[in-house]
Amino acid sequence: MMNVNELTIKEFHSGLTEKKFSAKEATGEFLKAIDAKDGEIGAYLSIFGEEALAAASVVDEKIASGDGISEIAGVPMALKDNMLVKGMKTTAASKMLENYVASYDATVVRKLKDANAVLLGKANMDEFAMGSSTEYSAFKKTKNPYDLSRVPGGSSGGSAAAVAAGLAMAALGSDTSGSICLPASFCGIVGLRPTYGAVSRSGLIAMASSLDQIGPMAKTVEDAEILFRHFAGKDALDSTTVNHVYGAGEHLDDARGLKIGLPKEFFVSGLSREVEEGLEFAVQKFKKLGIEFREIELPHAKYALSCYYIIMPAEVSSNLARFDGVRYQGVAGMRNEAKSLSDLYLATRGTGFGPEPRRRILLGTFVLSAGYYDAYYAKAQKVRRLIKNDFDEAFKNVDAIMAPVAPAPAFRFGEKISDPMAMYLSDIFTTQTNLAGIPALAVPIKQYSLGGGELPVGFQLIGNRFEENRLFALGKLYEKN
Ligand code: GLN
């Protein structure tokens, strides 16, 4: 059998319908690879062995009886462990939810199941999606498949590492401020953070609700696009979703006349050589294809990080209030010792949350408190609007924006963990799009071969609201040439 672990969704679908292999065989290969390699990589927190094989058999039966199958039928996938799968553990990589079993499917999960995708298991992440390296997981370290001494990025680090190491054909991640684009870039894969409202958040464990979005992580732009179409769309269970029809997608055979903006605020000194050279390489390639580049200004971009680290903790502090030791099963025995209600809260929240969620709950409670609300939270909301206005202005003159994803490639374990500010700075180029609610697509600059010794670097293409199709078209153009 051909090496299914290396196939793209597109190639897999052809192989499957041409009966070169069965869905069950393919899933078996992925489970074998996980068995052999995940001890070292640490991408998964739980594996759905039997359920995955059963879901694959359903696809084989459909094919045998001549029924049509979806383009993602049988595709072995990983899900970030903050998305609910009925009957399965969903921990958000926190002790607080160590024993929590989901009672319903997230909307994205239901849509994937309806399309007969195969869910291999749940991927590691930073606790409650807070972090940029996956080092804040309460359970394990995930290693970057390109260099095991380095982090995979975060917070969707397990999803990215699983795809990069051939332990999943594609994955879902969530992004509140770069948690899809950053690990995608560090692991040499493609990731899309969709427009806010494009994808339902129902069944996603909330971090900061006005910023969170679920998106695809895959080997190619084409795969990310295929996947995205299967779970985007309006959902009655999430009133922030918008009824936008993405249609059949776009292809750019001739890109002449398209304009890409380069924000001058993002091309500052301090970028690593790899990022600077990589971006230059990508710009030149697009130029050869007839695309015009323009310098643009995003004057408020420099306030984005400060703005994010006020709004996000404010939302975190209220979202995480629900974890009180009464409603969800966390660390075993956590509630037994308590003599009063406040004792129970203290015992649960003191043991259940790791240091990073605790830091953010404290920060968030502070910026929302009566004396400081106007000075911090209300002001940050105004700055958020200015950041969004900058993008609106920029998109009057350009079709898309190109920028680095992070200042440098994957860093080493331990390099930033003792300094929260250093870790927060990883978000310096990603947080603007989340605050503005617009889509960003991370694309690897070159497709490095695994073990080739070089660290992957990506660039991001940023579009206006609901312009994912244009980003995909540009990304596919880059990939093909
Ligand atoms: N680095 C961001 C943070 O720590 C990542 C958040 C996210 O996108 N989930 O808040």
Look at residue 76 in the predicted model and tell me its pLDDT.
98
Query: For 204, phi and psi rounded to 5 degrees?
Result: -100, 130
Who has greater pLDDT, 381 or 254?
381
Mean pLDDT of 68-83: 98
Task: Report the chain's mean pLDDT, rounded to a whole number.
Answer: 94
Catalytic residue, chosen from 133, 179, 200, 426, is 179
Rg (CA), the chain: 21
Angle between helices 107-114 and 221-231 (to 10 degrees): 110
- State which ligand 1 atom lies nearest to the alpha carbon of 423: 1
- Ligand 1 pocket check for 255: Cβ under 6 Å: no
448 has pLDDT over 80: no
Burial class (CB in 10 A: 0-12, 13-18, 19+), 451: exposed
Confidence of residue 450 (pLDDT cuts 50, 70, 90): very low
Look at residue 10 in the predicted model and tell me its pLDDT.
95
Which residue of 179, 185, 306 sits with most ligand 1 atoms within 8 Å of its CB, as the best mutation to test the pocket? 179
Sign of CA pseudo-dihedral 437, 439, 445, 448: positive
Look at residue 156 in the predicted model and tell me its pLDDT.
98
Q: Tell me whether residue 155 is one of the annotated catalytic residues.
A: yes
Least confident of 96-100, 146-150, 339-343, 454-458: 339-343
Look at residue 341 in the predicted model and tell me its pLDDT.
86
Overall pTM > 0.85: yes
Whole-angstrom Cα distance, residue 443 to residue 403?
Answer: 11
294 has pLDDT over 70: yes
Task: Tell me the per-residue pLDDT of 15-56, one tens digit each, with 9 for 90 and over.
Answer: 999 999 999 999 999 999 999 999 999 999 999 999 999 999
The CB density around residue 438, as the number of other CB atoms within 10 Å, is 24
The CB density around residue 68, as the number of other CB atoms within 10 Å, is 8
- Ligand 1 pocket check for 132: Cβ under 6 Å: yes
- Ligand 1 pocket check for 363: Cβ under 6 Å: no
Q: DSSP class of residue 261?
A: E
The domain made up of 4-253 is a member of CATH 3.90.1300.10 = yes
Burial class (CB in 10 A: 0-12, 13-18, 19+), 40: exposed
Q: Give residue limits of the domains in the chain.
A: 4-253
Contact (Cβ atoms closer than 8 angstroms) between residue 96 and residue 85: no
3-state DSSP assignment of residue 434 = helix
Look at residue 268 in the predicted model and tell me its pLDDT.
81
Sign of CA pseudo-dihedral 271, 272, 278, 284: positive
Whole-angstrom Cα distance, residue 456 to residue 440?
Answer: 18
Whole-angstrom Cα distance, residue 389 to residue 299?
Answer: 10
Contact (Cβ atoms closer than 8 angstroms) between residue 54 and residue 96: no
451 has pLDDT over 80: no
Percent of residues, the chain, with pLDDT higher than 90: 84
Query: For 293, phi and psi rounded to 5 degrees?
Result: -110, 145
Look at residue 330 in the predicted model and tell me its pLDDT.
59
Look at residue 335 in the predicted model and tell me its pLDDT.
66
- State which ligand 1 atom lies nearest to the alpha carbon of 130: 4
Query: For 149, phi and psi rounded to 5 degrees?
Result: -90, 0
Task: Tell me the per-residue pLDDT of 363-403, one tens digit each, with 9 for 90 and over.
Answer: 999 999 999 999 999 999 999 999 999 999 999 999 999 99
The Cβ-side half-sphere exposure at 394, using a 13 Å CA radius, reads: 33
Look at residue 412 in the predicted model and tell me its pLDDT.
95
- Ligand 1 pocket check for 133: Cβ under 6 Å: no
